[in-house]
Amino acid sequence: MPTTGPSLHLFWSELACKDGTPYPTLWRQTRAVTLADGFERFRHLCGDRELTVDSGFRTSEWNRVVKGAKTSQHIEGRAIDILKPGHLILEQFWALAHAFALERDNAVRGLGYYPWGVHLDDRPSNRVVVWYGTRPNADVSDSE
């Protein structure tokens, strides 16, 4: 495992909480590895070009500051928000993320669409939950 992060293109500094709290050591060999695998695979799907992480792990306190969901996967170290890259329009980025989330051979189980980009998470679930903006909607699929 790289010393700068859990994968080649995802760094511990990107996964750290914006309040300065590092990504928890307890999850570095487990949750971070799964999250990084999803990030790298999604990055490849986006043309192997740089993706900017807007948010990774959040402390409960920081999650309240940013008005995140009370049960946010960011608090569990299982989520990453990725800004739309310059080489794609938002609809293209969303289409790639949506197709990626519905692939059966990855761990993505949560996908959010926002004006700035996408939220990906690997919540423990057999279904993929998809939402637009701040609230989950009925676009849920079984992964069985």
Domains contained in the chain, CATH given:
12-142 (3.30.1380.10)
pLDDT of residue 144: 35
Q: Which tens digits make up the pLDDT trace of 69-123? A: 999 999 999 999 999 999 999 999 999 999 999 998 889 999 999 999 999 999 9
CA 76 – CA 130 distance, rounded (Å): 18
Contact 33, 41 (CB under 8 A): no
CA 1 – CA 16 distance, rounded (Å): 17
If you write DSSP's letter for every residue of 69-87 in order, what string do you get? -TT-TTTTT-EEEEEPPTT
Residue 4 in tokens: 């700068």
Q: Which tens digits make up the pLDDT trace of 51-71? A: 999 999 999 999 999 999 999
Q: For the chain, percent helix, then strand, then coil, each to nearest 5?
A: 30, 25, 50
